[in-house]
Amino acid sequence: MSKKIATIIGATGKQGRAAINVFLQKPEYLVRGITRNADSSAARALKARGVEVVQADLNDEATLRVAFEGSHVIFGTTDFVPGFVQYGSERGRDIEAEQGRNVARAAQATPTLEHLIWSTLPSTSKISNGKYACPNFEGKEAANDFIRTLPDLLAKTTFVLVGWYDLNFNYPCYKPVWVEAANRYVVIGDYDPDATLVYIGDVEKNLGPFVKAIAEQPEKTKNGAIVFAYTDTIGFEELLKRWAKAKGKEAAYVSTSYEIMGVLYPEWTKLADMTRWMGDYKDTYWSYKEGEFLSYKDLGIAISDFVSMDESLKYLEIA
């Protein structure tokens, strides 16, 4: 009996590696990894593990159609940061939205496709009635909206909302800075220090159990179901202090104004919108209610399957 093909977008990134690790453990699948550079050291490492590495560009739908040929499962994700760094937040948002639509059109054109596992985020603008419009959320939501216009593809799709990465501490607007005179790390922000982070932590390790459960329970997870990939909820300042404690240090959150944030982090402060928004909805799951999404509990995932928050923070490296 011939094997099925699981195709993973962003194969050398953290989410992609999480999905690859899952499907490499499933003998019924051949694993295909899509990357922009099939000759990179990370791509060569995947080849050594038995992954078929294919070069394709999310900005070029034609290359995706070729890369998806014969696929039964596609794990899809887009990355806002490259476009943001090169072109700014608005253009970066639009680039990511079009990349998502390219993936959707190419997936729709793949006759063998059974399941699209789509890593995404919701619209902060819709949820907040226009108060916030966090660009790294809005581009993804534009792709979600497009998938929902394609009934055949929607029937095969799982939307996976991926929670707060530990690596977000590397963004300038969240980055702890060591202040020698204070003998502690400091984060300066204008957002609610108690803003609830729906937290996944080490995404490379903690997304895998979700991907595995989604793939194994298609009757529950397809048809546009929303899976919320998180392991904990925690306030921003509490997480900061917990990270510092894991490093044997102390940390403090220093509150400032929106205007000063704009001076300190001119473009990056737009990414801080996500924490301002989370502060407004700190008693909810990003405004979602229980029963509106599938959690790890709903999917039967044991909490012991995840890397704990303390372990994740202990090994987190902030550049």
Q: What are the residue ranges spanned by the domains of the chain? A: 4-314
pLDDT at residue 32 is higher than 80: yes
> 318, exposed or middle or buried, with CB in 10 Å at 0-12, 13-18, 19+?
middle
Per-residue confidence (pLDDT) for residue 146, from 0 to 100: 98
Mean pLDDT of the chain: 96
What percent of the chain stands above pLDDT 90?
Answer: 97
**How many other CB atoms are there within 10 angstroms of residue 40's CB atom?**
13
What is the mean predicted confidence (pLDDT) over 102-106?
98
pLDDT at residue 290 is higher than 90: no
Per-residue confidence (pLDDT) for residue 4, from 0 to 100: 98
What is the per-residue DSSP string for 108-141? HT-TT--EEEEEE---HHHHTTTS---HHHHHHH
Per-residue confidence (pLDDT) for residue 57, from 0 to 100: 96
Give the total residue count for the chain: 319
Per-residue confidence (pLDDT) for residue 319, from 0 to 100: 77
Per-residue confidence (pLDDT) for residue 317, from 0 to 100: 87
pLDDT at residue 175 is higher than 90: yes
Under CATH, to which class is 4-314 assigned?
A: alpha beta
Q: The tokens of 281 are what? A: 């909805």
Per-residue confidence (pLDDT) for residue 1, from 0 to 100: 63
What is the per-residue DSSP string for 179-230? ETTTTEEEEEESS-TTPEEEEEESHHHHSHHHHHHHHH-HHHH-TTEEEEE-
**How many other CB atoms are there within 10 angstroms of residue 292's CB atom?**
10
Question: What does pTM read for this prediction?
Answer: 0.96
Q: The tokens of 125 are what? A: 């603008």
- Is residue 95 within 8 Å of residue 83, measured between CB atoms? yes
CB contact set of 135 (below 8 Å; sequence gap of 6+): 80, 84, 89, 90, 92, 93, 270, 271
If we measure between CA atoms, which residue out of 59, 77, 66, 65 comes closest to residue 12?
77
Q: For 33-92, how does the pLDDT look when each residue is reduced to its tens digit (9 = 90+)?
A: 999 999 999 999 999 999 999 999 999 999 999 999 999 999 999 999 999 999 999 999
Q: For 214-249, how does the pLDDT look when each residue is reduced to its tens digit (9 = 90+)?
A: 999 999 999 999 999 999 999 999 999 999 999 999
- Is residue 227 within 8 Å of residue 294, measured between CB atoms? yes
